[in-house]
């Protein structure tokens, strides 16, 4: 596709995109999920999950290195053959259409109506945010990468300010006793961390490495972006447990937002939870636009279209419609995220790339034998 082959972003821009994509929905959602399974040991699950995620990143990079000129959809055709490859790509893109962008919009609108503007219809929030995302996707990955590059320092600065302001309110006794729930309870928490933070990052293989102007430096950028994003999430989990306690963290839908409410420096610097909301809006925006961009590029490559842009507006409309359907209520969303989302992302983010690497190795051995 000519449109894809023309666009190029720098390794630094990839690093920023990976970081923002990684923290995405994780920034506000992960602490309560980990506390649900591991209680006060949620920070251990986050640390172990973060280290395990490095292996998943290595797996993604290995898949990308099979042919740095091709996206994930094009790799399917090359490795599995034309027809089976297109079938696998259709299944992958279809699952993303149903479960990825609509879920991002749902979390945004649910957060807004439950925490900030309860009288506002959910549909109006979804429409406004989706329109902004559609504009970004139509402008292309280069514009999205430049925007991420500009906004990233502000996200980092606000995060650092929030961490230092909340540290005086932490209590180490909230993290004790260590491993009270046992090692067995850590595993579902670790899988939850991976399913939210790293498995969906396989979508980035629609950008890495064919859209990079320096593919050799892109590997380090991918690792760096993930590590920084992972450290931010681990810090948030630690602060939520130490400042709110494991019980309040588990019971809250968005404990990180409640954490930001606790910030009070003197009697003039307080109630600045908008800091957390602003960071989350930015990271959610780039998670949503990357999903939409990857889906549009994937459909265009499956059907050999010359440009992906005509697909973006229909995808945006479909995302708005599905965002109010996939999660009919908060209870359903919690059940889905706890019991169904983990095996779903595990199959896409771990089993699928392993199969792709295995098939590529077999194909290479058969070719060498001939």
pLDDT reported for residue 2: 43
Low-confidence ranges of the chain (pLDDT < 50): 1-3
d(CA 213, CA 190): 35
- Which tens digit of pLDDT belongs to each residue from 215-255? 788 899 999 999 999 999 999 999 989 988 888 888 888 88
> What pLDDT sits at residue 270?
59
Cβ partners under 8 Å of residue 265, min gap 6: 165
Tell me what pLDDT residue 368 has.
Answer: 66
What is the pLDDT, as a whole number, of residue 57?
Answer: 94
> What is the model's pLDDT at position 35?
87
pLDDT reported for residue 292: 94
Q: What's the pLDDT at 183?
A: 79
pLDDT value for 354:
94
Backbone angles phi, psi at 263, to 5 degrees: -65, 125
Nearest to 222 by CA among 67, 13, 43, 63: 13
Q: What is the pLDDT of residue 231?
A: 93
pLDDT in the model for residue 206: 92
């Amino acid at each position: 596709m000519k449109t894809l082959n023309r666009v190029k972003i720098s390794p630094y821009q990839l690093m920023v995109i990976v970081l923002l994509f990684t923290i995405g929905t994780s920034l506000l959602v992960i602490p309560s999920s980990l506390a649900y399974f591991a209680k006060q040991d949620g920070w251990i699950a986050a640390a172990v999950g973060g280290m395990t995620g490095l292996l998943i990143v290595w797996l993604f990079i290995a898949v990308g290195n099979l042919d740095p000129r091709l996206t994930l959809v094009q790799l399917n055709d090359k490795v599995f053959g034309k027809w089976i490859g297109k079938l696998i790509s259709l299944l992958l893109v279809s699952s993303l259409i149903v479960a990825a962008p609509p879920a991002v919009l749902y979390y945004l609108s649910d957060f807004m109506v439950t925490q900030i503007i309860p009288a506002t219809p959910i549909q109006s929030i979804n429409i406004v945010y989706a329109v902004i995302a559609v504009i970004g996707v139509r402008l292309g990955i280069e514009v999205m990468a430049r925007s991420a590059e500009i906004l990233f320092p502000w996200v980092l600065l606000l995060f650092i300010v929030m961490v230092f302001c909340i540290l005086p309110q932490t209590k180490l006794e909230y993290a004790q006793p260590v491993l009270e729930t046992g090692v067995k309870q850590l595993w579902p928490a670790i899988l939850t961390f991976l399913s939210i933070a790293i498995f969906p990052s396989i979508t980035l293989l629609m950008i890495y490495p064919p859209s990079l102007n320096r593919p050799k430096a892109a590997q380090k950028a991918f690792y760096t972006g993930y590590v920084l994003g992972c450290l931010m999430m681990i810090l948030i989990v630690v602060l939520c447990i130490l400042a709110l306690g494991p019980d309040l963290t588990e019971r809250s839908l968005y404990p990180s937002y409640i954490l930001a409410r606790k910030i009070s420096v003197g009697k003039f610097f307080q109630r600045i939870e908008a800091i957390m909301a602003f960071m989350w809006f930015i990271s959610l925006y780039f998670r949503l636009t990357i999903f939409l961009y990857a889906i549009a590029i994937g459909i265009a490559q499956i059907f050999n279209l010359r440009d992906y842009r005509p697909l973006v507006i229909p995808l945006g409309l479909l995302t708005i419609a599905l965002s109010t359907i996939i999660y009919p209520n908060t209870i359903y969303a919690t059940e889905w995220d706890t019991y169904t989302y983990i095996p779903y992302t595990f199959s896409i983010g771990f089993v699928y790339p392993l199969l792709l690497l295995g098939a590529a190795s077999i194909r290479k051995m058969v070719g060498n034998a001939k």
